Each structure stands twice: as structure tokens, then as C-alpha cells.
A and B are shown apart, each in its own frame.
Chain A
Amino acid sequence: MIAPFAGYGLGLRKPHYAEFLDHRIAVDFVEVISENFMVDGGRPRALLREMRSLYPVALHGVSMSIGSADGLDRAYLARLRALVDEIEPLFVSDHLSWTRIEGFSSHDLLPLPYTSEALDLVCVNIDRAQDVLGRAMLIENPSTYIDFAPAEMSEWQFLDAMCARTGCGLLLDVNNVFVSATNHGFDAIAYLEGVPHDRVRQVHLAGHSQGKELLIDTHDQPVPASVWGLYARVMPLLGPVATMIERDDDIPPLADLLAEVSVARRIGGRTMRRAA
């Protein structure tokens, strides 16, 4: 069963571990990178157990490689299942991308062409992952730097068909929409209007940086006004949806990130009042 609305959270990163353990931080949930805790034992796994006793936890993966043409890694799925069983997370998510092919692992979220061949393959892989995990996953829209043309469908049409065929939910990363829209010249509003709103279970908010030629999804900046604007625009379409701030580099003091969580809470709260 897909988890319900879970409030406003934060991506949990190492510099803030102690604060989260020593004080009750005002977030509704934390999200961790699954792979960092898919280990046999030791401090990381113990820390996650401790964290789970204090906060609801979402598991966000980067290495499932849901778009691999040669299928999923069985050992990976087994480890993730063991972590899911132990942590009982709010959500289990990964990206619409691929990282691995024929024994090579890029450790980067690589783009897929939006073709019927890729859609069939992604759906088979999601079905398999959901079977092993025993639950529905959330799949996140990627930020991309290559636009494979000619595409047979738009990214949001691909996501819509993927959700309909597999029953998975969506993790809508608003920053990724902005980055890809800027890089590929599509309309971010049309994207947000086009995704299947009833499938969105979680929203990510993050920042980006201007690269030499393209906008890069760096997660090393505060959420910019452009992304807040899109978030405010899409929330009335989504209704109450769990939202979190994602910061991976140049990590500031926790108070700065909690201030961003408060902004999300304010914008999301307006949506909830309207819905009520």
C-alpha cells in the first residue's frame, strides 16, 4: 500500500546526524540515501536504527538502475529488501534513469530515451523490483543533460504511462523539472500540468548551479525562487503531498535547511487549507 501524506522533511546528511539524535528536530520525516545503509553492519546501520526510533524515515536510492537494458541486480534488490524490512520506511524511491550495464556501474544517474522500448523495459524492471520489495515504489523524474531526439513521447507522458502500467507512485523533483526544462527548452508548467497528479506521493526541492554549457543539478545551493515558484504552482494540483528539502553539497547549518522546510510547510499548508 502506498503511504499517505507524511508532512515536511529533510534529507538527512552526516554533518547533522548528532543534532538529529540529540534533539527532537522539527521535521515530520527524514530521508536517507538507501545505499549508504545497505551494509552488513557497523555504525551506519546502527545509526539508522537509532534514527528510525526517533523519526519516520524515507529510503531514497540512487543505484537500482531501473532503466538497465540487462535487468536489475538481484543482490542489490535483496539487500534493499532487508533494509526495508528492518526500517519500515515511509517511502522507497529511486530514479527514472540507469546507472549499470553489463557489469559496469557509472554511479551517476544516466538518462533514458523516451521510447516505447524504454517504457516496456522500465515497467518490467519496476514490476520486478516491487515484487521483490513487496510494496509500491516511488520513481523520481530525473534532471537530464541529453535530450534524445526524436523522442516518441514527452517525459511526463512516459511517467504517466509508467505509473499506470506498474502501479508505482511518483517522486516529483521540482528542481529537476526546472533544470531539464532549462536545458532542453521545454515548458516546466506544461510538465507540471502533465504529470499524473494522483500518483505523486512525495516532492523534492533542491538547488542547482549554472555549468559552462548547461544547468547542473548540484544540490549545493538553497532552493531558488524559480523552484519555489514552480512548487507553489504545482501544489494546488497535487493536494497534500510529503515534501522535503534535499541538500547534498556545501551543506549549511541545520537551521538554514529547517528555514527552507518552513517555507515548504507554509506553501504546502496553503494548499491544504484550500483543499479543506
Chain B
Amino acid sequence: MTLIELQRDMQAWLARDDAAAARRIGTDAAPGLRVYQNNYRAQLVACLEDSFARTRDWIGEEAFHQAVVAHVERVPPSSWTLDAYPRDFPATLALLYPDDPEVAELGWIECALGEAFVGPDAPALAADGLGEIDWDRAVLHFTPTLDLGPLSTNVAAIWTALAAGEMPPAVELLPEPGAILVWRQDQVSRFRAIDQIEQQALLAARAGLSFANLCEAIVAAHGQEDGIARAGQLLGQWLADGVITDVEERPLSR
């Protein structure tokens, strides 16, 4: 048996419990193969348990364990870092809980908070340095840890209650879907639920739309008075959250 054949057989044994592969490695190897398989599974289980504590609190120990077992069977790890293994777990939760969207949304929040925790460093822009900005030419730059996830329920309130050790509220579907905004401020991962207006504004601004054009779009959708007020409120909120890292003044193009 060549080295690559041996390694393929070990993989088949670990990931798929392939008995034929185990026999090819050798009958004398059976006790050792059991140790390696146990180590393999225990690592992945511990990784998911550490990463999804609130999800486990929400669906219960037994259901969570079943979800973890299903995920370990469905998704073998592929990255050199265990930090990457939680990424696909919300998709497994969505498959297992198609009628309970808050479960996958809860998983997504936990996963995104973990990713933001070790994301690239990018100091937030201080609000007091903005007096000289020509807002007609301003383009906002956002922290690379910013991420947006789907939101159809009151999962933010559920997460907050679970984190505080309090009784979580019952699940409620939102009147209209929004998004969960996740980012890291200094060294702390944060999130908040946002509505569609803010979601669209963030997506457009992150794609490079100038702040002036962003204001115009919001005014077009919500009227002069409400639109300007909302654009100002969003800018203030983003600065307070620390999601803006730079304001670039680009030459006027019109």
C-alpha cells in the first residue's frame, strides 16, 4: 500500500466509518483506529459545542447533540483551522429545522460573532474628526469584520436573553424580513438587528456608493424630510457602532 492509499483509507475510516478501509489498514490496527476515530469526532464535537452555546441552550442538549452528529457526518472538515468548521453548521441547522428559522439564525449569529472576533484589525473612525469632510464627495469605508445575515424572527431578543441567563421570549416572525449586522468594535464582537432600509443602505455604501447618492436614494424612497433624517441617523449610528473606518473624499463625477 502506498502512502497516499494509506492516507485515503484513514480518511475513509475517520469520516465515513468505512470498515473495508479499516481492514486494508490491518486487523492489528483496529484498537488504534478506534482511538483516532474517537479523537477525530471528539475534536469536531467540542468545536461545535464551544461555538454554538446559545443554540444549544435554545434547542436543548439532546437535540443539539443530534444536530452535531448529523453535521459531523454531513460535512467533513476541510480547512487547516478548526475555526473554519463552524461555518457550515447554520446550513445544517436550516436543513434540520426548516420550520424554525430562528434556529439557523441563532447559529448564524454565533458563527459570525466568532469570525468577527479574529477578523482583520481596522481602527474605527472617530466622529470628532469629521468636521472638515465634504459630504458631497464622501465615500464611506467599513470595517472588514462587518457581516450581514438573514433575519426573519426576533432572534436578537432570544440571543440576548439566553446570553443573560434569562427566560427567552417566544419566537415571533417579523412583519418584514431584515438582517443581522455583525462586526467587531475594538476587541469585542457585536451584533444588532437592522431593518431593510439600513440593510440596503449598508450594502450600497459598502459597494462604493457615495454618501450623497445614498442620501438621494433614501430620500427618493422615503421622502425629503424622512429620508434626510434617516440618512443622518444611519451615519450617526454607524459612527457610534465603530463600523466606519474611513471617509474618502472622491472627486465629483457629475
Contact = CB atoms under 8 A, between A and B. Distances in A.
Interface of A: 35, 38-46, 63, 65, 67-70, 73, 75-76, 98-108, 110-113, 115, 117-118, 121, 144-149, 183, 211, 213-214, 216
Interface string B81-99: 1110100000000000000
Given A101-B4, A108-B40, A211-B35, A63 B119 contact: no
A42 B187 contact: yes
Contacts of B2: 69, 117
B253 interface: no
A42 B32 contact: no
A114 to B, nearest CB: 11
The 10 closest A-B pairs by CB, nearest first: A145-B32, A41-B121, A146-B32, A39-B118, A69-B4, A213-B31, A40-B120, A101-B7, A43-B187, A145-B35
B43 A107 contact: yes
A144 B36 CA distance: 9
Contacts of B40: 106-108
B239 interface: no
A144 B44 contact: no
B217 interface: no
A69 to B, nearest CB: 4
A68 B4 CA distance: 8
Interface in B123-164: 144
Contacts of A183: 32
A104 B31 contact: no
A110 B4 contact: no
Given A73-B80, A145-B35, 6 more contacts: A46-B187, A63-B80, A106-B36, A107-B77, A118-B3, A146-B25
Contacts of B8: 101-102
23 contacts: A40-B144, A41-B122, A42-B118, A45-B118, A63-B81, A67-B3, A69-B3, A70-B4, A98-B7, A102-B8, A103-B78, A104-B11, A107-B44, A107-B82, A108-B40, A110-B10, A117-B2, A145-B32, A146-B25, A146-B33, A147-B32, A213-B31, A216-B35
Given A63-B81, A103-B78, A121 B3 contact: yes
B3 A115 contact: yes
B77 A104 contact: yes
A107 B122 CA distance: 30
A216 B116 CA distance: 35
B224 interface: no
Given A40-B120, A69-B4, A101 B11 contact: yes
Nearest to A40: B120
A142 B77 CA distance: 22
Q: SS class of chain A's interface: helix, strand, loop or mixed?
A: loop
Contact of B43 (A76, A103, A108, A112): A108
A121 to B, nearest CB: 6
A41 B119 contact: yes
Contacts of A98: 7
Interface in B25-42: 25-26, 28-29, 31-36, 39-40
A41 B32 CA distance: 38
Nearest to A37: B118
Contact of A35 (B28, B33, B43, B81): B81
Contacts of B78: 103-105
A145 B80 contact: no
A39 B117 CA distance: 10
Most chain B C-beta atoms within 10 Å of own C-beta, residue among A39, A76, A106, A213? A106
Contacts of A106: 10-11, 14, 36, 40, 77
A149 B28 contact: yes
Contacts of B201: none
A108 B80 contact: no
Contacts of B29: 146-148
B76 interface: yes
A65 B35 CA distance: 19
A199 B188 CA distance: 44
A52 B11 CA distance: 37
B21 interface: no
Contacts of B204: none
A145 B82 contact: no
